[in-house]
Amino acid sequence: MASHSLGLSLHDAARQMGVPFTVENEPADRFVAVNGMTFHYLEWGEPHLPTIMMLHGISQQAHSWDFISLPLSVDYHVIAVDQRGHGDSDWAPDGDYSTDAYVGDVEGLVSALGLRDFHLMGHSMGGRNSMAWASGRPGALRSLTIVDTGPETQRRGSNRIQQFRELPDELDTLDEFAQRVMEYTGRSRQQTLGALKYSIRQRDDGKWTWKYDKAMRVSGFRAPAWTPEQLWEGWRKIDCPTLVTRGERSDIFSAETMARMAAEHPDCTAVTIANAGHLVQGDNPPDFLAAVKGLLGRVA
């Protein structure tokens, strides 16, 4: 069975999750060359509309934003990027997955796509990359949304994600991957298959494996990252209206760190999303979308 035929369709899955959308839009697959690599991104909506760029978390890909991109694409031009080493973008030939490398990619994408005065949204790793990029680009953004991450993260949740990434990554059947993800996320089989099809691939020998770079799946992988001190300093330099969201059940991002972020930024709205863990926009898309629309509506 081809992986693209698995699970619920995007629109059926969105309805099942209570996502409020009025038009059954679909994204277009696009590719662009940046920093000697080819990047894949999903383009939603019309280019003349205000633009939102979305950056996913580690081991994820652009489709992790589908439940949010779908309803927003009526009023916004959405660009959801597969960051280096993820999805259908190139793996880094030199194995560089540092914060600085990701920031350089964002800079290159912004230039190549001609983005100006846009909205930036990032989840987890993508949120930290967004903060790092925005901290050095005053006046570049109309708004910034950070999802379940901050300058400091909790070791318990980080270790849990690391342990999941280090599980055996070459399995005989797609069902084995689906069962693993169902146990990890608590989602239904149909929901799992609908999302999983974008994150795994079948090799020539018939085995299934993740799409993201195998270098990130080895035991003890730690990419060079900005320190908490650097991120706090950078956070205080960001000059656009911001939204910080946290999943109520998150073991990655503490309420205390979110409160400090709100206190140390002159225009920051902090929202805890009920019935959500770390993948806030996938766990409770209606409430996350409401928070996002609150910010977007205010800065439009």
Q: Which residues pair with 55 in a beta bridge?
A: 81, 122
Side-chain-side CA neighbours of residue 14 (13 Å)? 22
CATH number of the domain located at residue range(s) 3-299 in this protein: 3.40.50.1820
Please write the tens of the pLDDT for every residue from 227-265. Answer: 999 999 999 999 999 999 999 999 999 999 999 999 999
162: pLDDT strictly greater than 90: no
Tokens representing residue 106 in the block: 């964002």
Please write the tens of the pLDDT for every residue from 96-143. Answer: 999 999 999 999 999 999 999 999 999 999 999 999 999 999 999 999
Kindly provide the residue ranges of all beta strands, DSSP E only, lying in the chain, ordered along the sequence. 28-34, 37-44, 51-55, 77-81, 118-123, 141-147, 170-171, 200-202, 208-210, 242-247, 268-273
pLDDT of res. 182: 87
Please write the tens of the pLDDT for every residue from 175-230. Answer: 898 898 888 887 788 778 878 889 999 999 999 999 999 999 988 888 899 999 99
Q: What is the mean pLDDT of residues 11-38?
A: 96
Percent of the chain predicted with pLDDT > 90: 81
Does pTM top 0.85 for this prediction? yes
pLDDT of res. 104: 98
- ∠ CA 139-145-146, nearest 5°, is 120
- Count Cβ atoms within 10 A of the Cβ of residue 204 and give its class: 0-12 exposed, 13-18 middle, 19 or more buried: exposed
pLDDT of res. 6: 63
Tell me the C-alpha to C-alpha distance, in Å, between residue 80 and each of 29, 40, 41, 253. Answer: 10, 9, 5, 23
90: pLDDT strictly greater than 90: yes
95: pLDDT strictly greater than 70: yes
pLDDT of res. 92: 97
pLDDT of res. 285: 97
